[in-house]
């Protein structure tokens, strides 16, 4: 009986392809969430065989089958994220959780029952919500960016001047980054709103630029001028102080040199001749004032008084 299983499966698949062609449907799921793919709507009271054929756009193919008479599931190359949503005897829907970008592709449910054979092919589309940012540069350009979205997001502006520019970048994994630029409104009361629309978002996202930022952008040239003037004044003052300190240091150095020179002054004598002409006169004067002569003069005076 085990050997009859592959033969029976191939025969039933052949009947499905011949009796009824596939019916196309599209299923969308946001990356990271749960995706459910349905089989053809038919009675499951006489279910014989269910086979899911999975052909992703990237990666290897796989299959998930259920045989009703043996209550047996057969998995070939399918990972554990792909399983039955409930009991395949009642509802053979395929569940994928969590959905990844690589799961995008074609999924075919083939059913064989006592009432006939049925087939339904579904295309799984994985949605990736973009990361939205709003920035500005020093030139007054506002940039609204929706990064790595799938499909590409749509950007529009409210209360803008209507002259926005867009740039798109396509990534290898199928996501797209869109960048929209808008010049800043020349008003301090302006409110600039970036509207980003994407199928993976429940509603339109609105990012509002506050009036304070608008005022800052308007005052930016004035601030730059003030900064330039302040820097110039500081440079001039620093140069004047440097010159002043340098002159004072030179003056103090000159005073120190002068003081050092004064302390090292020496007295010099000029050679000359000694005048010996009056030396005898000087000696005679000193001789007149000798002790012996003074005694003689005193005795002479006494003698003269006695005679008188």
Reduce the secondary structure of the chain to three states and give it as a string. CCCHHHHHHHHHHHHHHHHCCCEEEEEEEECCCCEEECCCCCCCCCEEEEEEEEEECCCCCEEEEEECCCCEEEEECCCCCEEECCCCCCCCCEEECCCCHHHCEEEEEEEEECCEEEEEEEEEEEEECCEEEEEECCCCEEEEEEEEEECCCEEEEECCCCCCEEEEEECCCCCEEEEEEEECCCCCCCCEEEEEECCCCCCCEEEEECHHHHHHHHHHHHHHHHHHHHHHHHHHHHHHHHHHHHHHHHHHHHHHHHHHHHHCCCCCCCCCCCCCCCHHHHHHHHHHCCHHHHHHHHHHHHHHHHHC
Task: Give CA–CA dist 156/205, Å, rounded.
Answer: 11
166's torsion region: left (phi>0), alpha (psi -120 to 50) or beta? beta
Closest CA to 113 of 52, 179, 47, 50: 47
β-bridge mates for residue 112, sequence order: 49, 117
Query: So what's the pLDDT on residue 5?
Result: 47
Q: What pLDDT, on a 0 to 100 scale, did the predictor assign at position 55? A: 96
What pLDDT score does 249 carry? 72
pLDDT at 238 (0 to 100): 79
Q: Label residue 280 by pLDDT band (50, 70, 90).
A: very low
Instruction: Provide mean pLDDT across the span 110-129.
Output: 95
pLDDT at 73 over 90: yes
Share of the chain above pLDDT 90, in %: 44
Alpha carbon distance 66, 69 (integer Å) = 9
For the four alpha carbons of 84, 85, 87 and 90, in that order, the dihedral sign comes to negative
Average pLDDT on 186-215 reads 72
Q: Does residue 136 or residue 21 have the better pLDDT?
A: 136
Which phi and psi (to 5°) does residue 98 adopt?
-85, 155
Domains present along the chain, CATH in parentheses: 4-127 (2.60.40.10), 131-214 (2.60.40.10)
Mean pLDDT (whole number) for 227-242: 77
Q: What is the pTM of this model?
A: 0.61
pLDDT at 296: 61
Report the candidate in 203, 168, 167, 182 with the shortest Cα–Cα distance to residue 134: 182
What's the pLDDT score for residue 78?
Answer: 94
- The share of the chain scoring above pLDDT 70, in percent, equals 65
Averaged pLDDT, 222-251: 73
């Amino acid at each position: 009986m085990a050997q009859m299983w592959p033969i029976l499966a191939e025969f039933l698949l052949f009947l499905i392809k011949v009796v009824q062609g596939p019916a196309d449907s599209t299923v969308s799921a946001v990356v990271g969430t749960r995706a459910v793919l349905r089989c053809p709507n038919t009675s499951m009271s006489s279910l014989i065989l269910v086979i899911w054929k999975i052909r992703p756009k990237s990666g290897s193919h796989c299959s998930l089958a259920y045989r009703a008479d043996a209550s047996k599931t057969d998995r070939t190359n399918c990972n554990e994220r792909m399983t039955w949503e409930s009991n395949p005897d009642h509802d053979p829907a395929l569940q994928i959780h969590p959905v990844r970008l690589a799961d995008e592709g074609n999924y075919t449910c083939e059913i064989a029952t006592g009432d006939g054979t049925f087939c339904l092919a579904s295309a799984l589309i994985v949605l990736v919500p973009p990361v939205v940012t709003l920035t500005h540069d020093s030139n007054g350009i506002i940039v609204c960016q929706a990064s790595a979205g799938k499909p590409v997001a749509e950007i529009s502006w409210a209360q803008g001047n209507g002259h926005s520019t867009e740039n798109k970048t396509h990534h290898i994994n199928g996501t797209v980054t869109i960048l929209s630029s808008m010049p800043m409104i020349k008003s301090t009361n302006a409110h600039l709103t970036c509207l980003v629309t994407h199928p993976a978002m429940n509603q339109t996202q609105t990012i509002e630029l506050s009036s304070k930022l608008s005022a800052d952008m308007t005052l930016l040239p004035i601030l730059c001028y003030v900064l330039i003037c302040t820097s110039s004044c500081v440079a001039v003052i620093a140069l004047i102080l440097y010159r002043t300190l340098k002159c004072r240091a030179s003056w103090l150095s000159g005073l120190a040199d002068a003081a050092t020179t004064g302390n090292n002054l020496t007295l010099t004598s000029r050679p000359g001749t000694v005048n010996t002409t009056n030396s005898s006169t000087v000696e005679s004067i000193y001789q007149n004032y000798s002790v012996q002569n003074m005694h003689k003069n005193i005795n002479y005076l006494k003698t003269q008084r006695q005679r008188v």
